[in-house]
């Protein structure tokens, strides 16, 4: 395999939930050695572990214990990147803040990931995906123009922030090649949320703001919307007069062209509800397969709404790496209970740098191995067990 671009980079990942661990997993997929550090009393949930725990070495280390902290600091000396997702001020109290660690390792790239950033009136507030959505208008715009906010039910900001942080870390590592110095990277769910809803934050002279307009309006109108066929749901997009004319060339839609209410863009917009009602009756008369074939023949985009099960059952998705997985049922390790597992692939494909097909670790499974590589003796490792810095029994089943 081609040498991966982050080979030789060591990352210490202290994060939980999704954003920070997504960052660590992304770095691991490009070749970094990512050591996931958790205390024994903080076992992860299995689903995110299989997703964003992949590609990491897991050690159970309690840095609130003096011996645990000293061991962590020894790891810092040989590391390139720190990932942390604590509220502002917590790392300083623990003795692992950026200013504290860069005195030991000036080349350290230190990534801080939270919801609202490290400055401003909300700098000390905790927060998660839905908090970031609310703070940046996403839930209002997700209402479909009906006025009542509605949370987006996917974690776009968690995953987006993790990938953004990985991008920032890679840039900082590239800059370090020029200067020899590390730096602190800051990423926040609310920053990501504002960025990916960028069209709503553009202003110019005589601009009239419409939080439900612009690109977000697609999906809310007759020509850009969801319809139910005889057997499933589909999404229609008609974006031009040429496509409208092509649509009306289909026998099921031919009568619409003759109706005065739909004879121009302006009238179709004005009579949107009436047009939608007409479309609903037409689409429910045939199957989605019929409509995809029919619309495809005239170049109109129409996509079936598919379930996760359908995505997983499509062999093409496995072949192109959209879905990856492994069967652990025959494993003699603790992860044998995972059985046949699967997870989503990476969104980026590089022609000359194939990604590692990384798997999840066993929780705490490499604790002793990492400590031995650090140079600790058997007696020193036993002392860590006695002081509660590492568990007495390893690994730990989740």
Q: Is the dihedral of CA 172, 173, 178, 179 positive or negative?
A: positive
Is there a catalytic annotation at residue 158? yes
Residue from 340, 322, 252 nearest 291 by CA:
252
Q: Which of 13, 38, 80, 158 is flagged as catalytic?
A: 158
Q: What is the 3-state secondary structure (H, E, C) of the chain?
A: CCCCCCCCCEEEECCCCCHHHHHHHHHHHCCCEEEEEECCCCCCCHHHHHHHCCCEEEEECCCCCHHHHHHHHHHHHCCCEEEECCCCCHHHHHCCCHHHHHCCCCCCEEEEEECCCCCCCCCCCCCCHHHHHHHCCHHHHCCCCCCCCCCCCCCHHHHHHHHHHHHHHHHHHHHHHHHCCCCEEEEEHHHHHHHHCHHHHCCCCCCCCCCCCHHHHCCCECCEEEEECCCCEEEEECCCHHHHHHHHCCHHHHHHHHCHHHCCHHHHHHCHHHHHHHHHHHHCCCCHHHHHHHHHCCCCCEEECCCHHHHHHCHHHHHCCCEEEEECCCCCCHHHHHCEEEEECCCCCCCCCCCCCCCCCCCCCCHHHHHHHCCCCHHHHHHHHHCCCCCCCCCCCC
For the chain, the residue count is 398
- The residues, any chain, with a CB within 8 Å of residue 195's CB and separated by 6 or more, are 160, 164
Q: Which residue has the tokens 């009579």?
A: 271
Q: Which two tokens stand for residue 398?
A: 């989740």
CA distances from 138 to 99, 112, 165, 200 (A): 35, 23, 21, 10
- Residues recognised as catalytic: 158
């Amino acid at each position: 395999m081609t040498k991966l671009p982050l080979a030789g980079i060591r990352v210490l990942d202290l994060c939980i939930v999704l954003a920070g661990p997504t960052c660590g997993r992304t770095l691991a997929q490009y070749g970094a050695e990512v050591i996931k550090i958790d205390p024994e009393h903080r076992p992860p949930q299995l689903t995110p572990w299989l997703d964003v725990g992949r590609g990491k070495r897991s050690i159970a280390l309690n840095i609130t214990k003096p011996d645990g902290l000293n061991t962590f600091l020894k790891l810092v000396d040989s590391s390139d990147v720190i990932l942390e997702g604590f509220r502002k001020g917590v790392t300083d109290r623990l003795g692992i803040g950026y200013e504290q660690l860069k005195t030991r390792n000036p080349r350290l790239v230190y990534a801080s990931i939270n919801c609202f950033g490290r400055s401003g009136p909300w700098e000390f507030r905790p927060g998660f995906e839905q908090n970031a959505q609310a703070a940046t208008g996403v839930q209002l715009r997700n209402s479909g123009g009906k006025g009542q906010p509605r949370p987006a039910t996917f974690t776009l900001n968690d995953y987006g922030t993790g990938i953004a942080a990985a991008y920032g870390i890679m840039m900082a590592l590239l800059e370090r090649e020029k200067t020899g110095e590390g730096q602190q990277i800051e990423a926040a769910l609310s920053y990501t949320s504002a960025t990916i809803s960028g069209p709503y934050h553009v202003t110019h002279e005589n601009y009239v703001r419409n939080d439900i307009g612009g690109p977000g309006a697609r999906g809310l109108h007759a020509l850009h919307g969801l319809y139910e066929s005889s057997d499933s749901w589909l999404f229609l997009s008609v974006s031009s007069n040429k496509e409208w004319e092509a649509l009306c060339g289909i026998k099921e839609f031919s009568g619409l062209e003759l109706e005065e209410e739909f004879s121009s863009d302006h009238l179709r917009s004005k009579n949107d509800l009436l047009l939608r009602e007409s479309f609903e009756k037409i689409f429910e008369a045939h199957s989605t397969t019929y409509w995809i074939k029919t619309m495809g023949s005239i170049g109109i985009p129409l996509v079936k709404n598919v379930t996760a099960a359908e995505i997983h059952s499509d062999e093409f998705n496995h072949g192109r790496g959209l879905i990856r997985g492994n069967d652990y049922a025959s494993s003699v390790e603790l992860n044998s209970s995972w059985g046949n597992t699967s997870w989503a692939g990476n969104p980026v494909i590089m022609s000359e740098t194939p990604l590692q097909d990384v798997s999840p670790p066993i929780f705490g499974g490499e604790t002793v191995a990492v400590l031995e590589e650090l140079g600790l003796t058997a007696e020193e490792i036993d002392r860590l067990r006695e002081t509660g810095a590492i568990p007495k029994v390893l690994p730990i089943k989740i």
